[in-house]
Structure 1
Amino acid sequence: MGGRDPWVCVRLARDRAGGFCVRARPDRAIRGMASMPREIRNLALIGFMGSGKTAVGRMAAAQLAFEFVDTDALIEAAAGMSIPEIFAREGEPGFREWERKIVRTLAERSRTVIATGGGLPTYGDHLEQLKQHSLVVCLWASPEVLYERVRHHDHRPLLRTPDPLARIRELLARREPYYRQADVLIQTEHRPIREVAAQVVHAFRIHQQSVV
């Protein structure tokens, strides 16, 4: 997809069992969400690290007058440790267990924008749990773009490797099938945060109108 291409890729889930991906103008493509039947209270953002979940989520929450939460921040608060400390002391299995506990608490929330950890949708029934109460939007970018966005963030435990780009490609390939189960898939490359956030908010509002 070209750098200035005004089109985005939007996956429109007709129901929880399936959907399809189309390349269409946002204002036209998202209208297909009217066929999504479930009621939702929250907006959940999934995607790889560096996809913009936190920045977009904060802006979307402000536009919707919703609370904003980041699952990694919730984990750190619950564990009393930073994410790198959790990985150092308990390894990835320990971190995923904290993640599982936090996911269980999200169902209690309402009017909240939730930015999730990059691997969260790929474990257990996390994605299904999110879909029970949230419109799930995946923010997408290529491995090369993601690498440029995060390469100076040496606090990312999963990227502490001699070849971070290869690691990103490996993880993204593994996670892509889960990311593509989102209700909406938005391409973020070469797009300002405010534009992506506006598209996310538009998707949420269109869905809300469809279930009124």
Structure 2
Amino acid sequence: MDVPRPKEDGPSRPETEPARIRERLGARSIVLIGMMGAGKSSVGRRLAAQLDLPFVDADTEIETAAGMTIPEIFDRHGEAEFRDGERKVIRRLLESGPQVLATGGGAWMAPETREAVAENGISVWLRAEVEVLLKRVRRRQDRPLLQGPDPEGTLRRLADIRGPVYAMADRIVESRDASHEVVVRDVLAQVADVLDEEDRRKTEG
């Protein structure tokens, strides 16, 4: 996928200003996808604050709906039942109005979720190298897929499997060792680019 890179310097143009992006989004949401540790929640909160939109973490909503943590859901009911609930929760959230939505690492793998996002939002993949992801998640105990004897190997396998599907997102932003504010700026630029492209298609059509 050919992904336009946002400019690093210089003043932002009016169409990339947060208030203008919020207006142009209408009822749609910005949906952040990517691997565990990509920074979806940290970036999402800051992005939502700039856009004056609610921030919603899909995993938190799933835990609230189930009345238990995600590791507990995996232990008691298995991954298949978790994924089924995840699809339903994300669709419900997307139908509830504009927001910045951070999704779990495996959510985007479901075709139904990709369709729901396409209907109700703009998707952005926060892409990060496995080494960066591992550094961010290795001390956390709330990642059931990484609780085996080889978390690095598991993370690499997941990244290899999910990467081509993540690449179906509307845009890609590198989640690197930079400040969250820099990544937020990049996301805003990419969302503005999607909106510009839609406007061009309308004009040409």
TM-score, with length taken from structure 1:
0.80
Whether the 8 Å contact between 1:64 and 1:201 is mirrored in structure 2 is no
> What's the CA shift for 1:68?
0.6
Code of the residue aligned with 2:176 in structure 1: it is E
- Greater CA drift, 100-109 or 43-52: 100-109
SS in 2 for 1:63: helix
2:7 is the counterpart of 1:27: yes
Whether the 8 Å contact between 1:51 and 1:140 is mirrored in structure 2 is yes
Whether the 8 Å contact between 1:47 and 1:140 is mirrored in structure 2 is yes
Code of the residue aligned with 1:135 in structure 2: it is I
2:122 is the counterpart of 1:135: yes
Could you tell me which residue of structure 2 aligns to residue 120 of structure 1? 107
Distance (whole Å) between structure 2 residues aligned to residue 52 and residue 122 of structure 1 = 18
Q: List aligned pairs for 1:1-212, cutoff 5 A.
A: 20-22=1-3, 25-27=5-7, 41-208=28-195, 211=198
Whether the 8 Å contact between 1:40 and 1:135 is mirrored in structure 2 is no
SS in 2 for 1:162: coil
TM-score, with length taken from structure 2:
0.83
SS in 1 for 2:47: helix
> What's the CA shift for 1:66?
0.5
Whether the 8 Å contact between 1:122 and 1:178 is mirrored in structure 2 is yes
**Superposition RMSD in Å:** 2.1
- Greater CA drift, 59-68 or 101-110: 101-110
Q: Deviations over 1:24-75 (max 9, x none)?
A: 54139xx9xxxxxx98611000000000000000000000000110110110
Q: Which runs of 5+ in 1 are unaligned?
A: 1-19, 32-37
Change (3 A) 1:90 1:175: same
Q: Which runs of 5+ in 2 are unaligned?
A: 14-24, 200-205
Code of the residue aligned with 2:57 in structure 1: it is D
SS in 2 for 1:148: helix
Could you tell me which residue of structure 2 aligns to residue 14 of structure 1? none
Whether the 8 Å contact between 2:34 and 2:125 is mirrored in structure 1 is yes
Could you tell me which residue of structure 2 aligns to residue 11 of structure 1? none
Greater helix proportion: 2
Q: Deviations over 1:100-130 (max 9, x none)?
A: 2112203313220000000001023211211
Distance (whole Å) between structure 2 residues aligned to residue 209 and residue 170 of structure 1 = 36
Code of the residue aligned with 1:159 in structure 2: it is L
Among all aligned residue pairs of Structure 1 and Structure 2, give the percentage whose two residues are the same amino acid.
Answer: 42
Could you tell me which residue of structure 2 aligns to residue 10 of structure 1? none
Change (3 A) 1:98 1:60: same
- Greater CA drift, 38-47 or 55-64: 38-47
Runs of 4 or more, structure 1, over 6 Å off, are: none
